[in-house]
Structures are given as structure tokens and as C-alpha cells.
């Protein structure tokens, strides 16, 4: 695939980077990333991935835009209220970068449909807001050896993890340190509140990790959790070890 003059101009600030270059930009254009949830995290993730030139972006969400979303879900504006999020999101992403292949899934991802939705994607960026979905995506990516970048936000606190299941011997999974679903699996933002800007911080870091994983540059977050305290403005990177009793050690899981 050769670049058009317009593409070179569009991506010039990335192509000029030694660690990206034409080859890296081509890798981004050839990559396929699924964003789960068009919410607070999904908004910056999808917008930055589209702007960066991720060639195929899937976006899954079955919800409609509510006025209480707009404080942090920057894909949407006040005219989008009551519209389906995945459809509005796909239109916005097309406006950012019309040449991309944007696929919207007007669905809630579940055990029955996850394979159909996710099978053609190499990397999943999880912006969901509950553990049931996080576990489902973890288990699916583990089984299918995909790369997964997870983000979670509540109040002023943010968490980010990367699992590279292509490198299963060295990657822990979500169940290594949260073996069972927490009894109280509720939508944290709805019940505990969240500062809107934190969605931008965590979602942008997730998008950055997705790009780095695709380009294979820099230090990966795989094997660590990044814990952000937006009040104290501290970023702590804590090592996550593989739990030998976890299912991710089972050969051919
Ligand atoms: Zn594990």
C-alpha cells in the first residue's frame, strides 16, 4: 500500500517520528482495533485512534446518549441526546478521518455475540463500566490471543492495564489479581460519580498504549497496573505478577 499525498500530509507529524515513520504509519492503517463501550473512556480512545489512522475501528455500544453522559463522553453533544451511541460515534469518527473503515455494533457485548463482534480485531480497548464485561473480554482475548488494554475510572481514581496474550508466558490476565467477580458489580460512574476530565486522561493513555502495542515501540504496560490519583496527581506503576493458579497458565486455554 502506498501513501497518497493527502495521507502523507495528514499523518506528517507521526511519519516524521523515527519510531513511527512510513512503515509504522502503514502498520497503524493496517490494524484493526475494537473499542468496547462508547462512553467516557471509549470517546477519547476512539477519537485518538481515528485521528492517528487506525485503519479499522469497531465500536460497540447499545446505549443511547443521555444528558448525564455529556459531562465526560466527548464523542457526544447536546443534539445527540436519545440517539444510539454507536451510530453517533461512528459518524463522528468518520468526520475526523473519512478514509477509515468504521464499524459500529449497536449491541451490548455478551457471551453469545463476542466472537462474532471481536474475531476480526487484533487489539481490544476496553472502556466498559462493569466487571462482568471486563471478565468476558479478558477471557475472550486470552483464549484468542489478542492484545487487551483495559481502563477503569471512578471518582478521582483511574486504573489502566495492558495484557498481551500474544506473549502469554509473560502476560498476566485480569483474573491473576482479581480471581472472582466482585460481589458488588455496579456502574461506578453512576453510583460513585467521576470527574469528567479523568475519562480523558485514562482514555488517552489507553489509546497511547494501543498505538505502542501495534507499533511495538517503547516500554509496554503489560505486566503492570498504572494507578492514577487525579487529586494528588500521582501516577504509580505497580508490577502485576502472573498467578500460577490462574487459568492463563493452562496450556491451550
Ligand atoms: Zn491470569
- Per residue in 217-228, pLDDT (tens digit) is 999 899 999 999
Task: Report how far ligand 1's centroid is from the alpha carbon of 170 (Å).
Answer: 10
Q: pLDDT at residue 180 above 90?
A: no
- What per-residue confidence (pLDDT) applies to 253? 67
Task: Report how far ligand 1's centroid is from the alpha carbon of 247 (Å).
Answer: 6
Q: How far apart are CA 104 and CA 111, in angstroms?
A: 18
- What per-residue confidence (pLDDT) applies to 1? 67
- Residue 183 binned pLDDT confidence (cut-offs 50, 70, 90): confident
Percentage of residues in the chain having pLDDT higher than 70: 98
- What per-residue confidence (pLDDT) applies to 252? 67
Task: Report how far ligand 1's centroid is from the alpha carbon of 74 (Å).
Answer: 33
Question: Would you state the cell numbers that stand for residue 16, as one nine-digit string?
Answer: 516524521
- What per-residue confidence (pLDDT) applies to 250? 82
Task: Report how far ligand 1's centroid is from the alpha carbon of 141 (Å).
Answer: 12
- Residue 48 binned pLDDT confidence (cut-offs 50, 70, 90): very high
* pTM of the complete model: 0.96
- Mind spelling out the 3-state secondary structure of 117-179? HHCCCCEEEECCCCHHHHHHHHHHHHHHCCEEEEEEEEECEEEEEEEEHHHCCCCCCHHHHCC
Task: Report how far ligand 1's centroid is from the alpha carbon of 142 (Å).
Answer: 9
Task: Report how far ligand 1's centroid is from the alpha carbon of 136 (Å).
Answer: 13
Amino acid at each position: 500500500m502506498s501513501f497518497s499525498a493527502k495521507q502523507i500530509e495528514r499523518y506528517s507529524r507521526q511519519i516524521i517520528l523515527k519510531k513511527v515513520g512510513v512503515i509504522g504509519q502503514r502498520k497503524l492503517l493496517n490494524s484493526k482495533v475494537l473499542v468496547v463501550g462508547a462512553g467516557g473512556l471509549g470517546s477519547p480512545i476512539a477519537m485518538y485512534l481515528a485521528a492517528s489512522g487506525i485503519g479499522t475501528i469497531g465500536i460497540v455500544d447499545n446505549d443511547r446518549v443521555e444528558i448525564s453522559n455529556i459531562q465526560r463522553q466527548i464523542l457526544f453533544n447536546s443534539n445527540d441526546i436519545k440517539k444510539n451511541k454507536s451510530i453517533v460515534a461512528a459518524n463522528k469518527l468518520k468526520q475526523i478521518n473519512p478514509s477509515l473503515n468504521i464499524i459500529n455494533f449497536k449491541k451490548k457485548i455478551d457471551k453469545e455475540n463476542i466472537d462474532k463482534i471481536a474475531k476480526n480485531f487484533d487489539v481490544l480497548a476496553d472502556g466498559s463500566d462493569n466487571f462482568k464485561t471486563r471478565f468476558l473480554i479478558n477471557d475472550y482475548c486470552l483464549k484468542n490471543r489478542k492484545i487487551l488494554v483495559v481502563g477503569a475510572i471512578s471518582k478521582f481514581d483511574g486504573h489502566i492495564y495492558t495484557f498481551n496474550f500474544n506473549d502469554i508466558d509473560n502476560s498476566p490476565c485480569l483474573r491473576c489479581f482479581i480471581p472472582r467477580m466482585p460481589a458488588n458489580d455496579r456502574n461506578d460512574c453512576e453510583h460513585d460519580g467521576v470527574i469528567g476530565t479523568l475519562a480523558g486522561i485514562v482514555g488517552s493513555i489507553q489509546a497511547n498504549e494501543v498505538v505502542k502495542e501495534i507499533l511495538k515501540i517503547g516500554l509496554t504496560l503489560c505486566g503492570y497496573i498504572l494507578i492514577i490519583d487525579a487529586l494528588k496527581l500521582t501516577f504509580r506503576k505497580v508490577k502485576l505478577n502472573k498467578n500460577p493458579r490462574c487459568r492463563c497458565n493452562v496450556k491451550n486455554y
